[in-house]
Amino acid sequence: MTVLKCIAVDDEPLALKLVETFIEQTPFLELTASCDNAVEAMSLIREKQPDLVFLDINMPNLTGMELARLLQEQTGSLPKIVFTTAYNHYAIEGYRVNAVDYLLKPFSYEEFLRAANKVLQITEEASNQYQPITADDEFIFLKVEYQWVRISLKDISYIESLKDYVKVHLDDSQKTVLSLISLKALEEKLPSTKFMRIHRSFIVSLDKISAITKNSILIGKTEITVGEQYKEAFKTIVDKWLK
């Protein structure tokens, strides 16, 4: 599993402690240093070469935004940055220095984890570790709360989108798994020979379809409508089955 080395920077002791705590309880993050000012942070970033910096914007002498610009000018590159601030008007400016995300104080662990997961996915895609699953693979790992859970592909009946999360429905109709990942990102990881998106909110296991109607499919007792934009592709699959 990829582990991201992190530095936390904030001039407010309580805010700094909160970020440190959130980093320490996240399995794929490792706290390598923390400090309360941007000048010290610049030296630490050069010394530690972190993958990710949680950087407060409003600090005396040198702001987090100014630090990000200086690093970009001097090195031409930056560690991934997630800005933290109590003021939402910095959001657009933050993206000009390629910040991955922006956390508005006070933020919850769920919001923190969503930002950290975004950095993880970008990092793994860049290093070719975030690979789609092939038809020969038998399982997938999904992040569930504070751990990575192994799920057998053969046990998945269908997958439902819930905003930033997906709910994976397993063969046991009473069992589901909730993971912080978008339906699109998960779709790209699944083998297209086994799974198909038939609705903006649903991916189904083709092997688990028990019946087909004009505009929907059945998996057990669950009926799922085939969305208009997916009908043609699904019809191609059905035509092959019915030959």
Confidence (pLDDT) at 1: 64
Confidence (pLDDT) at 54: 97
Separation CA 180–CA 44 (nearest Å): 31
Confidence (pLDDT) at 91: 45
What Cα–Cα distance (Å) separates residue 58 from each residue in 6, 38, 93, 157? 19, 10, 13, 48
Confidence (pLDDT) at 31: 96
Confidence (pLDDT) at 92: 43
Question: Which residues are 222's β-sheet partners?
Answer: 219
Confidence (pLDDT) at 174: 64
Spell out the domains of the chain, with CATH numbers in brackets: 4-126 (3.40.50.2300), 139-242 (2.40.50.1020)
Confidence (pLDDT) at 102: 85
Mean pLDDT of residues grouped by 10 in the chain (243 residues)? 90 95 92 96 92 92 87 70 78 56 89 90 66 59 78 92 89 80 86 90 93 89 92 85 73
Local structure of residue 89 (DSSP, 8 states): G
Separation CA 30–CA 14 (nearest Å): 19
